[in-house]
Amino acid sequence: MPVSDQKLYLLDYGAGNVRSLLNAVEKLGHRIEYIKTVEDFAKADKIIFPGVGAFGYAMRALNNSGFAEPLKAYIASGRPLMGICVGMQVLFEGSDESPAEPGLGIFEGRVELFDKKLKSVPHMGWNAAQVVHQENVLATAVPEIGEDSRYYFVHSYAVPYTGTGAQRGIVHSATRYVDQAVVSSVWSRNVFATQFHPEKSGPAGLALLRSFIEHDLVRPQSSAGELRMPGDIESALTVRVIACLDVRANDQGDLVVTKGDQYNVRESADKGGDVRNLGKPVDLAKRYYDEGADEIAFLNITSFRNLPFRDTPMLEVLRQASRSIFVPLTIGGGVRDSVDPDGEHVWPAVQVAGEYFRSGADKVSIGSDAVYAAEGYWQRKAEGLVPLDGSTAIEQIAERYGRQAVVISVDPRRVYVSSPEDASGHHVIRTAFPGPNGEQYCWYQCTVKGGREGRDTDVRQLVTACEALGAGEILLNCMDKDGTNSGYDIELISDTKAAVSIPVIASSGAGRPEHFSEAVEKTAVEAVLAAGIFHRREVPIVAVKKHMQEQGISIRSAEDGV
């Protein structure tokens, strides 16, 4: 059948960002329709089944919509299916994430949780998918999956790779995360599925999507032969370089990218006192994608409280950006319970997040409300109550969309003290950078409202509470370092890394390529972020990656398909 005549459908059960997949398909010159009814399965020539979030939520949604059995019948008919992330996991018998919810049972095996004692969880970032077939036609049957390419992974649960038993007939590639090899793609007859996200994997991922859409990815009738053993799968996880864009309305009402010095985004009085304008959000984001940024973060620093939420400009920014940017997008600012100006429409935070996801975001960043949630968590513990009561935005978003979708943005500042006893019970470090009066100790005070208000909560209290509540990543800023170009706060990053088992992004203070490598080498941080030096082209992303590669740090380079 000519590609132009085939009917391509998307199976969306209502979780996470599918707009990026729609945009990727359109970018490749094809059209795709939603499966809306059971009858649509019979119309489909090919189906793409993306999934984000919790295994149990996905299976309940499939069963409640009446789609589970028609999906199994579609697979049995021999027509091609491509599953993505949770869309791959539900093809197995079940998951430790939701033990009471059986999977579709297309493949033998279960999905298991990574061991948090040995690594940061979720597995988040760019990694290789290594074909497990050795001397066989299958080894090169999908040339778009190659060991020189990197793909974007974000998951806490995975199918362990054994290379034996039933896996010999279905596993196509495996990936190592620290000490554990896991299945990264399966291929059985007409079913091809990936644990990684092709639609977020840049040119390499787009090439794989094109292969599924334009060719018949039916597994050749050939013996699987011998597979690589788990010990043969090498680790190839890269450190992420993230470009951050602070977005707000200027005095003329235009949406611009700006950057502050220690959170002040206005020019000096002798320059007019206007909001610094460093460019248009979508244009800058596209530039960073082209330059090789591994992720892009939009931080909305304007409230827009006078607008109905659906009219918030950031939603349109995401829609526009996701049309041409195929790496993960994070949106921060305004992810809280809100009410439209008419007072009639109430938006719970989980619905706010849902609108951002449907507009093209992959993750949401929570700032001030995370501090309030952490304070409530510790208060409930002190009162002998259950600390996790499901009332916070963190819990609700993580339950529906998965913990990998929730980023906690931390805005701390140093408070110097002469001795630990002077810190009122807060977690204290001995610093190599004494305070103004020679103080040898400090604690990091969390702030809210864009750094304008300090709270009686330290960073360690915040990040440990938020991890318990369900957050999947920490974006670690530092008010003292912001805009200084003097390097990251290594003491803060090291102390935070020691407190949590979820990934940490280093932010604030980078001024030259050496600062990025220093943060990675001294703290083992999973990602490094910068803003102003990228906006002003003082330090290009390419220069940062080149330097990191020269220092022996694994990065996604131009040769990886950027």
> Which residues have CB under 8 Å from 55's CB, separation 6+?
86, 89, 90, 95, 97, 98, 101, 103, 111, 157
* Burial class of residue 559, CB neighbours in 10 A (0-12, 13-18, 19+): exposed
Over its C-alpha atoms, the chain yields an Rg (Å, rounded) of 24
Task: Tell me which of 12, 85, 123, 478 is the catalytic residue.
Answer: 85
Single out the catalytic residue among 97, 101, 199, 458: 199
Output the DSSP codes for 340-361: -TTS--EE-HHHHHHHHHHHT-
Question: Are the C-beta atoms of 257 and 279 separated by less than 8 Å?
Answer: yes
> Burial, 148: exposed, middle or buried (Cβ in 10 Å; 0-12, 13-18, 19+)?
exposed
Which of 40, 97, 246, 482 is an active site residue? 246
Q: Is 411 a catalytic residue?
A: yes
Q: E strand or H helix at 95, and its extent?
A: strand 94-95
Residue 336 to residue 252: CA distance in whole angstroms: 27
One-letter amino acid at 55 equals: F
Q: Is 79 exposed, middle or buried (0-12, 13-18, 19+ CB in 10 A)?
A: middle
DSSP notation for 347-411: E-HHHHHHHHHHHT-SEEEE-HHHHHHHHHHHHHHHTTS-S--S-SHHHHHHHHH-GGGEEEEE-
Alpha carbon 185 to its chain's center: 19
Peptide bond into 387 cis (omega under 30): no
**Active-site residue, 246 included:** yes
User: Which residues are annotated binding-site positions for substrate?
Assistant: 334, 477
* Residue 199 falls in the annotated catalytic set: yes
Positions at the binding site: 85, 334, 477
Q: Binding-site residues for L-glutamine, please?
A: 85
Exposure string (b/e) for 440-478, b if CB count within 10 Å is 16 or more?
Answer: bbbbbbbbbeebeebbebbbbbbbbbbbbbbbbbbbbbb
Three-point CA angle 27, 28, 31, nearest 5°: 85
Catalytic residue among 123, 155, 197, 547: 197
In a 3-state reduction of DSSP, which class is residue 155? strand
Residues known to be catalytic: 85, 197, 199, 246, 411
